[in-house]
Structure 1
Amino acid sequence: MILIVGGAWQGKLAFAVELAKKAYPLDSPACYNEKREEYEIAEGSRDSFEAAMKCRIIHGLHEYIRRLLKEGKSVDDFLSAVRQQNPHVIITSNELGCGIVPMDPGEREWREVSGRASVGLARTSEEVYRMVCGIASRIK
């Protein structure tokens, strides 16, 4: 597993695709769209939770977490399933803790749970990168 964190619009997805091209062959229909000649990406804001279990890239883990919290589902169970079913996935997640603390309790919970999820994933990931201005720094 590879984790890429950073602020919004810092180039995390482009870097994830670059890493996927280097690390993983384009041999699985679950992760590669032959018509568009690109990797299938599980988008946290819109794709199914099942998509995260099979796509080579999960983009926007923090958005999956938002949806899980709104639906009353376990974030830990979701992350555990990803680790088991998709151990070679590349995950991107926004850093949410660097701005103003939201007044809304639900937004604060989302921010805290997302941060803790990134901490847990970083511990078990083979590689961890932080993106700033399109530049990746390997931190693990």
Structure 2
Amino acid sequence: MKLIIGGAFQGKKEYVKEKFSLSEEQMTDGKNAEYDDIFHCTCLYHFHEWVKKGLEKEWDFENLAEKIQEKNPDLIVISNELGYGVVPIDAFDRKYRESTGRLCTQLAAKSRQVIRVVCGLGMVIKDA
């Protein structure tokens, strides 16, 4: 598994396409993906939106990193970093922000590679 993180509009998706030679057709949008899609796709971008959808639908995220590692170990996950800035007033938004951060932390622990993209430039922060 590989985790690509960074702020909004920092070029994460384009970086992944170039770095890992992926086409648009090989990439799944987390906004539109269902729970099981993460276990079958090559690359899931907008992971943070997938988490938001999952919270709304009450998906079970327990042991998600382990499940991905078992079922789809070559998955590339792309997620926005949400933990910076002002803490949201809305309770759901706080839960969404926290859940995304905790899940990304778990994915990073199980990932072979973690890359942070800023201004289209990738910085490897883990390469196991």
Normalising by structure 2, what TM-score? 0.89
Task: State the match for 2:16 in structure 1.
Answer: 16
Q: Tell me the amino acid that sits aligned with residue 100 of structure 2.
A: S
Q: Tell me the amino acid that sits aligned with residue 4 of structure 1.
A: I
In the alignment, structure 2 segments of 5+ residues that lack a partner are none
CA distance in 2, matches of 1:38, 1:59: 11
Which of 108, 122, 128 is the matching residue for 1:136? 122
| CA-atom RMSD in angstroms | 1.7
Q: Are 1:117 and 2:112 an aligned pair?
A: no
In the alignment, structure 1 segments of 5+ residues that lack a partner are 23-36
Deviation per CA, 1:77-96, whole angstroms, max 9, x where unpaired?
54443222111011101000
CA distance in 2, matches of 1:49, 1:18: 27
Q: What's the secondary structure of 1:88's corresponding residue? A: coil
Normalising by structure 1, what TM-score? 0.82
The equivalences for 1:66-77 within 5 A come to: 66-77=52-63
Structure of larger gyration radius:
1
Task: State the match for 1:3 in structure 2.
Answer: 3
Deviation per CA, 1:7-27, whole angstroms, max 9, x where unpaired?
0111111112223328xxxxx
CA contact (8 A) 1:20 1:90 kept: no
Count of equivalent residues: 126
Task: State the match for 1:99 in structure 2.
Answer: 85
Task: State the match for 2:44 in structure 1.
Answer: 58
